[in-house]
Amino acid sequence: MSPGLGILAALPGALGADGAAVALAALAGVALALAITVAVLARRLRALRRHVGLQSDLDARHAGPAVGQDAPPLEGLRRAGDELVAFVSEGCVRSVGLVAGLRGLEAEGMAVRWVREGEEREAFRRWRVPATPFVAYLVDGRVMSAGMIGRIEQIHGLIDAGLEREHVAA
């Protein structure tokens, strides 16, 4: 028998019946706390998996314009410097939620070309947009990264991925 188990086996005799009941109640409390902790962690893990699922769509190679190639035709693109092309839908809750974040990037000097599904359906087809919100990051008219976006942080990740591609290509 290991020394730790020997101490546990001797504990009821040393504590008496009342002490053993208290120790057993304390152990039950610890076990309950651990069970609650595991349940909370399992819930957080599910949320993280959903988040990672959104992240995996961040750099969609199967949809959208070809990364590393010139952007498809779209009226109003500057094709000079950094710019974002944001495809949004009026009825899409996620699109509405990202508008404020994109407006903030515009206020910081980032050029954003808005493409609204109800107004420019042909652009959605040419750019092979699978769903909204969809954002493409362009540098000098070349698509550096593109993907479906669920949160403003993902737009920053999209820009970072595009900047890294630009750096590697240089």
Q: Give tens-digit pLDDT for 72-96.
A: 999 999 999 999 999 998 888 888 7
Residue with the bigger pLDDT between 74 and 51: it is 74
In this prediction, residue 142 carries a pLDDT of 94
Instruction: State the pLDDT confidence band at 127, using cuts at 50, 70 and 90.
Output: very high
Q: Are residues 33 and 96 in the same domain?
A: no
Residue 68 located in a structural domain: no
Cβ distance 131 to 148 under 8 Å?
yes
In total, how many domains does the chain have? 2
The yes-or-no verdict on residue 11 having pLDDT over 60 is no
CB 150 within 8 A of CB 101: no
| Gap between the Cα atoms of 117 and 129, Å rounded | 10
CATH number of the domain at 131, please. 3.40.30.10
Whether residue 115 has pLDDT greater than 60: yes
Q: CA 165 → CA 61, 87, 162, distances in Å?
A: 14, 22, 5
Answer yes or no: do 46 and 86 share one domain.
Answer: no
Answer whether 73's CB lies under 8 Å from 120's CB. Answer: no
Q: How confident is the model at residue 19 (pLDDT cuts 50, 70, 90)?
A: confident
Q: 69 in a domain, yes or no?
A: no
Q: Does one domain contain both 44 and 92?
A: no
Same domain, 29 and 108: no
Contact 102, 74 (CB under 8 A): no
What's the CA gap between 87 and 123, in Å, rounded?
Answer: 9
